């Protein structure tokens, strides 16, 4: 699901890029977009018993830990990371203004079959260097 979402994002970016508008960079995988999506998915699993799958949640938690280490390694402070997670994934928000268990947020919770793709994407993002960037996203 995450891979399909990122592929769709990249495809959309290519379609929207007009030849008349010079591009300064190639479309990227959207490292911060991936970070936000993985955090949303992990929070959905924590809050939504009907969607929770222990195997999936373990993979998500591992990805979150890897990506947390990445943003901190690349220059974010702990406070910036916490603020990002609260804003993007409602982590630490006791009463989020969005129902994470239905609708758009719930669709980010992957099936077990997507765990290898999650691991691959996480490794790719964690291997990037420099200040974390949104890249091309939703």
Confidence of residue 138 (pLDDT cuts 50, 70, 90): low
Report the pLDDT value the prediction gives residue 115, as an integer from 0 to 100. 97
Residues 6 or more apart whose CB falls under 8 angstroms from that of 9 comprise 30, 33, 136, 137, 138
Q: Can you tell me the mean pLDDT for 6-23?
A: 37
Residue 131 predicted with pLDDT over 70: yes
Residue 15 predicted with pLDDT over 60: no
Residue 77 and residue 85: Cα distance in Å, rounded? 13
Task: Give 66 or 133, the one with higher predicted confidence.
Answer: 66
Residue 93 and residue 97: Cα distance in Å, rounded? 9
- Percent of all residues in the chain with a pLDDT value above 70, rounded to a whole number: 75
Confidence of residue 122 (pLDDT cuts 50, 70, 90): very high
Dihedral sign for Cα atoms in the order 94, 99, 102, 103: negative
Residue 104 and residue 126: Cα distance in Å, rounded? 26
Residue 56 predicted with pLDDT over 80: yes
């Amino acid at each position: 699901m995450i891979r399909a979402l990122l592929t769709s994002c990249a495809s959309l970016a290519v379609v929207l890029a007009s030849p008349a508008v010079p591009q300064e960079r190639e479309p990227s995988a959207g490292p911060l977009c991936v970070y936000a999506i993985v955090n949303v998915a992990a929070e959905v699993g924590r809050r939504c018993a009907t969607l929770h799958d222990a195997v999936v949640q373990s993979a998500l938690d591992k990805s979150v830990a890897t990506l947390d280490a990445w943003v901190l390694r690349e220059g974010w402070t702990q406070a910036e990371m916490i603020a990002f997670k609260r804003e993007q994934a409602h982590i630490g928000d006791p009463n989020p203004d969005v129902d994470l268990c239905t609708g758009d947020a719930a669709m980010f919770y992957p099936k077990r079959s997507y765990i290898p793709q999650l691991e691959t994407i996480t490794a790719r993002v964690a291997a990037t260097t420099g200040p974390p960037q949104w890249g091309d996203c939703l």
